[in-house]
Amino acid sequence: PKILADIVESIAAAVYVDVGFDLKKLWVIIRGVLEPIVTLQDLEQKPQPVTMLYEICQKNGKKVDIEQQRNGAKSTANVYVDGELVASASSDQKDIARLEAAKAALHKLERLLPATTMIRDCYVGIDGTFEVEAAKQKLYAICGIKKWPKPVYSIVKDEGTPQDKKFVTAVQIATPSATLQMSGDEKSRVKDAENSAASLMIRALQQHKYV
C-alpha cells in the first residue's frame, strides 16, 4: 500500500537529515528496514516435516503414504511406510494433523534411517570452499532426528564497507557428550556464511562418527 511506502520514505528522509546528509551512514542504518523480514530463502531453509519424510524414505527406497479421514470435528492422518502404519495424529485442522503425523513418523523412523540420509551431495564452491547443498536445513534436520537442541549461529567477523561486506559465522551444537562449535569460510552475505559454517559442521559430525 502507498501509505507504507510513504512511511518508509519519511523514515529514510529523517535519518538522512540526522546523519548530516551522509549517504553511506544512511545506507548502514536504513538497510535493515529495506530488507524483508522473511525471505523465500528463509522459508526454504526451515525443514518441512512432510517433505522431509518423503525425501528420507525415497533415499532409502521406502514408499510413503499419508491417508487422511474425517471423524466428526477431528481430522486424522495416518502415515504408512511400505504399507505399515508407523504414526497417526488428529487435529481440528487437516493440515495440522498431516504435519503432526509426519513429525511422529520421523521420530519413529530415527532408529532405522541414519541421520546422514539427510545430507545431499557436497560440492566445492567457486571460491574453493567446501559446501553442502541447503546445509542449514540439513543440520537442523540432523539435530531434530538426534534430539539435540537447535543449532545456534553467531557472527564472529563482520568487516568491510556496506558495499563490500565480509562475514564469518560460527555454529554451535550441544550434543549429550560435548558442545561442538565450527566457524565457516568468509562470505559476502550472512546467509552464505551460515551455510558455510553448517557445511563444515556436517563434515565434522561425519568425520567424528556423530552421524
Which tens digit of pLDDT belongs to each residue from 107-151?
777 666 555 444 444 434 444 456 787 888 889 888 888 889 999
Residue 173, all three cell numbers: 551444537
Q: What is the pLDDT of residue 127?
A: 44
Residue 108, all three cell numbers: 519413529
What are the residues whose beta carbons fall under 8 Å from the beta carbon of 128, sequence distance 6 or more?
A: none
For CA atoms 128, 132, 135, 137, give the dihedral sign: positive
Q: What is the pLDDT of residue 78?
A: 95
Single out the residue of 105, 111, 88 nearest to residue 49, CA to CA.
105
Q: Please list the ranges in the chain whose pLDDT falls under 70.
A: 1-2, 31-47, 110-130
Residue pair 210/183 in contact (Cβ under 8 Å)? The answer is: no
How far is residue 46 CA from its own chain's centroid? 4
Q: What is the pLDDT of residue 120?
A: 42
Q: What is the pLDDT of residue 211?
A: 73
What strands, in cross-sheet order, belong to the sheet with 74-81?
64-71, 74-81, 84-91
Q: Please, is 1 exposed, middle or buried when counting C-beta atoms within 10 Å of its C-beta (0-12, 13-18, 19+)?
A: exposed
Residue 191, all three cell numbers: 546467509
- In order, the DSSP letters of 32-91 are HHHS-SS-HHHHHHS--HHHHHHHHHHHTT--EEEEEEEETTEEEEEEEETTEEEEEEEE
Q: What is the pLDDT of residue 113?
A: 59
